[in-house]
Structure 1
Amino acid sequence: MTFSSKQIKGGLEEYKGEWSTPQITHLLKRVMFGAKPADVNYFKTKTLSQSVDELLKPQSFPEPPLNYYNTSDYTDPTGIALGATWAFAAYGDGTLNSKRRNSYKAWWLQQMFYQGRSLHEKMILFWHNHFSTEADTVSDARYLYKHHSLLRKFALGNFKTFVREMSIDPAMLVYLNGNKNTKTAPDENYGRELQELFTMGKGSDSKYTEDDVKAAARVLTGYVVSALTIDYSFTPSRHDTSDKTFSSYYNNTVIKGKSGTDGMLELDELVNMLFQKEELSKFICRKIYQFFVHYDLNESVEKNVITPLAEIFRKNNFEITPVLSTLFKSHFFYDAQLYGAVIKSPLDLVIGNLREFDVIFPNPKTEFVDVYTFFVEVVRQGTIMQQSIGDPPNVAGWAAYYQQPIFYEAWITADTYPKRVQYTDTIVANGITRNGKRIQIDVIAFAKNLPKPNDPNLLITDSIALLYKVPVSAERIEQLKRDILLSGQSSDYYWTEIWDTMLVRPQDTMTLVKSKLQSLYQYLLSLPEYQLT
């Protein structure tokens, strides 16, 4: 990609320019999964400020994941009935736990698909990548659900409290060996990642030492996880009660050793110490910027975006929402050079595609088994495109969010691009069938929601305005019209006539109209332009 944010003028001053389809789709495609036409039209009735304020409202907690896996050949051995939640049940066995993990992942993608007009779900994915855990390593689906609940609770909340709670989260304790960290055998895994990946980063101004990692590990001794309570507990006899001295980077802070249950107070002191460092706020703001805006960080971005955002973060006692509000209302964010400058993640592609075309699933209340079964397939699609929800490849998350110099260009390879096209081709032409039911893009319904679908020129340009974030040449549009909608004919009236006829006599031309629209949208979704957001 040739884009460079050095070309962008301005910073975090509030955007005062045009607020219409280009700006709205840019915002929605970045902060949600796709820009649904209904949402685009809705936000046209709001100002930019009103739109961002509404998008920043957190969603209510959804009902927990369900047992969809009871069949004539299998029954949950812990007694959880079909349609009931397993999230707080006994463990069972490995087979059951594997089924529950599938349920958890399918449930999670349902939350993305059914999201309201809020960026809450996208922020949960952001924090999932930041506080990365792997489902296969944590294993226990109940811990995974509890971890997700923590991400959901603090996604738009207070980062300082978030870090503290994450440090004693059962899934994180298992994933980074915190439950094995004792005074006789300190485990440095979490103490290292807490600083390197979760708070300070690895930038030039992040100068914590190996001794700081060791001291943090000793602070965090004594925590264990119980499969019975599905929670952490603190065992004073496993805790290191000696004093912990940190380096000059942390102003030679000494955390006095404490005995008994007072040992848990050391965690609060550790968090307080970390949050005194200015680099922490900059590191988090850089990650937010790279996730939502672009990976290119240079001196201009550092000066005009990151530094002032970090100051806002600190002045607001590490509340996340003020940072996001400032960024998404800023002049910088709406510079047209940012439109289409990011490659969609697999989840952005798959979930965004389903949402933008308003694909209809079975009723999630009465046909939840079918809904879960379909979303298991959606999980699989993301996985084969290299983004397995719940299972980032390592503690650093998905490489596309951090690996220099290519970052999210890594999403597109000789292997993954054909799989993306195969997915969009299938969902348009044949759909996905499970248990005798089908989910599929209804191309006619999508076209009907456009302003003037019987005009072949507007049909194509209005579709492109919703689906693409980069311009398409007039020559390409003319070719699409001629080759697909007009079947090589020269008169636009050909398309107008078969469309208008379909509306009054569907039996005459609906099959022809559907075939042409399927060819059109298969082509549009297969192009590189559709991979950009």
Structure 2
Amino acid sequence: MASLNQNTAILGNKNAKHLLRRATFKYTKTLISQFSALTPQQALDLLTTNNPLTLALPYDPVTNGGADGYWTESTALSSTFNGQQRKNIIVSGWWWYNAINDATLKYKLSHFLSTRFTVEKGNSTGTSTDFYDYIRLLLFFSYGNYKTLAKKMTLNNSMLLYLNNNENAASAPNENYAREFFELFTIGKGEQIAPGNYTNYTENDIVEGAKVLTGFRRVGDRSIIDSTTGIPKGGNLFGQHNTQTKVFSAAFSNTSIQPATNSVAMDIELDTFVEMIFSKLATAKNICRKMYIYFVKGTITSEVETDIITPLAQDLYANGYEILPVLRRLLESQHFYDLDDSSAIDETVGAIIKSPLQQISEICTYLQATIPDPTINATFFYNTFYRNFVHDTFFLGSNMPLFGPDSVAGHLAYYQDPSYDKNWISSSTLIARYRLGESLLDGFNRISGNNNIAGKIYISDVIKNGGLISNASDPFVLTTELCNALFGQEPDVDRINYLMNSFLLQGLADYYWTTAWENFITSNNNAVVEPRLKLLLTKILSAPESQVF
């Protein structure tokens, strides 16, 4: 029986690694050691702090004479700044830099919310400043209320453009946003009952919902500031609003929503519409299923639906759609740590294929990659390292342009039943995934082009000074501890011996490595140990066991 009963035991090394990987983008030996001595409840207390941003603002080093470096804070029209696509990528790099420097749930949750309220950065979503405001909205509500976010997102300038609600008028209805609001963002379809009639809503409900949503418009000068978040938002154009009574189907108890009589009342009408959808337990269940798929695994059995999803949904519903208490209950549960059964075929530890975002974040943080500091050398960080290598080479090559999915449904891994996370692996993504580690260990783009990437893992120095290995002169201990940290599950002795003998020792005796390592410690000459460590790590990071977490 799947159980939400709280796991009250000390986490230990294995469960600390599991929690950190699922809850954050910062994965380090220091954090593992710290969390291994805590209970899940104590760990979640630390993971749910609200730290200030490590990097306060995105910065464009191509400043057009210095005028628009910190363009997101300028009072000038954002559309006047040069290089909007470049600036969109800079915003995503700013988010990622903060994510790998903050060991809290905030960034995993903000990314999860981006998979639910999908916006594609780029020309179809307005300026880079609109996109920046979208990211800030996700961060603001990471520890907040899902229902309130649904209301706020409706007036987000990027969302207004992306799903065409900026064009939705009484005289020319556009149903794009209304459709996705029902299907993707909130309640979900459920099984089809008849043509145009689904379990949870009808096609006519979309028509009526689109009428509620008429007249909301993007405000390009960011002059309207939301009083709750402090973030710019769109506005209400009453002259384009549908002033008919909106009548919904039996799925919503034939609710009638009275029309607004002025622009201010448009917000009241929107609130009534959102409250109507969130009054259904099916909405809470749909959100909890998505949360489970993102944080636990893609398989939702009938047992999980009954014992995990339903009680979590009841909690979410009863607590007015506050996100954090529900996610905490899941991450503190016996089920999350595989403690509710003895079966080895339905594990949660190591049950998800890593997203490219997870993969690069883990490698950079655990192996202590030296990457440019954006406050000291913005050009090297934003252009050479993040844009040219991380974004344009690795993310694109692994089919995960950050905040740039193929469709409004998002990346296949988060919605495509039954494959889900298996969609990260394909013949077209393997080169990027397998050569990521090699690129970072060499400091050159081994995925394509062989250019200097301005970032590097200095592996012999990291092993020597980084506290990763308890006894680096012992080749078996070294290989074992690297595999245990970087694989989804701890491998058996045969696997460790294979990797050690084939790539670290390369057929030589154990004492060869011990002598070589001791010579490196004495002389600081890494000519022998560096290439062997790089080869070992390259094979570990490209191994099938390293693709899961």
Does the aligned pair in 2 maintain the 1:222–1:237 contact within 8 Å?
yes
Task: Identify the match of residue 48 of structure 2 among 51, 56, 64.
Answer: 56
What's the counterpart of residue 120 of structure 2? 134
Answer yes or no: is 1:420 the counterpart of 2:433.
yes
Answer yes or no: is 1:291 the counterpart of 2:304.
no
What's the counterpart of residue 132 of structure 2? 145
Moved more, 13-22 or 179-188: 13-22
Hey, what's the Cα distance between the residues in 1 that align with 2:199 and 2:96?
36
Moved more, 298-307 or 224-233: 224-233
Number of matched pairs = 515
Note the C-alpha offset of 1:193: 0.9
Note the C-alpha offset of 1:113: 2.4
Hey, what's the Cα distance between the residues in 2 that align with 1:156 and 1:95?
34
What's the counterpart of residue 106 of structure 2? 120
Task: Identify the match of residue 476 of structure 2 among 450, 457, 461.
Answer: 457
SS in 2 for 1:150: helix
SS in 1 for 2:234: strand
What's the counterpart of residue 531 of structure 1? 547
Does the aligned pair in 2 maintain the 1:68–1:103 contact within 8 Å?
no
5 Å-filtered alignment, 1:108-507, equals: 108-114=95-101, 116-136=102-122, 137-204=124-191, 206-229=199-222, 231-261=233-263, 262-335=265-338, 337-373=347-383, 374-376=385-387, 377-380=389-392, 381-431=394-444, 438-448=454-464, 449=467, 450-490=469-509, 492-507=510-525
What's the counterpart of residue 5 of structure 1? none
Note the C-alpha offset of 1:117: 1.6
- Counterpart amino acid of residue 386 in structure 2: F
Moved more, 216-225 or 16-25: 16-25
What's the counterpart of residue 195 of structure 2? none
What's the counterpart of residue 35 of structure 1? 27
Over the matched positions of the two proteins, sequence identity in percent amounts to 30
Hey, what's the Cα distance between the residues in 2 that align with 1:87 and 1:147?
17
Note the C-alpha offset of 1:17: 4.2
Q: Are the structure 2 counterparts of residues 429 and 273 from structure 1 closer, same or farther at C-alpha, using a change threshold of 3 Å?
A: same
Does the aligned pair in 1 maintain the 2:8–2:39 contact within 8 Å?
no
Hey, what's the Cα distance between the residues in 1 that align with 2:254 and 2:112?
33
Note the C-alpha offset of 1:285: 0.4
Does the aligned pair in 1 maintain the 2:2–2:303 contact within 8 Å?
no
Moved more, 140-149 or 230-239: 230-239
Hey, what's the Cα distance between the residues in 2 that align with 1:417 and 1:202?
34
SS in 2 for 1:117: coil
Hey, what's the Cα distance between the residues in 1 that align with 2:471 and 2:136?
44
- Counterpart amino acid of residue 118 in structure 2: S
Hey, what's the Cα distance between the residues in 1 that align with 2:119 and 2:275?
24
Q: Are the structure 2 counterparts of residues 532 and 88 from structure 1 closer, same or farther at C-alpha, using a change threshold of 3 Å?
A: farther
SS in 1 for 2:321: coil
What's the counterpart of residue 106 of structure 1? 93
SS in 2 for 1:135: coil
Hey, what's the Cα distance between the residues in 2 that align with 1:87 and 1:298?
51
What's the counterpart of residue 22 of structure 1? 14
What's the counterpart of residue 226 of structure 2? none
Hey, what's the Cα distance between the residues in 2 that align with 1:301 and 1:25?
23
What's the counterpart of residue 4 of structure 1? none
Note the C-alpha offset of 1:83: 5.4
Length-normalised TM-score, structure 1: 0.92
Does the aligned pair in 2 maintain the 1:34–1:353 contact within 8 Å?
no
Hey, what's the Cα distance between the residues in 2 that align with 1:223 and 1:134?
20
SS in 2 for 1:488: coil
More RCO (CA 8 Å, sep 6+)? 1
Note the C-alpha offset of 1:206: 3.8
Note the C-alpha offset of 1:284: 0.3
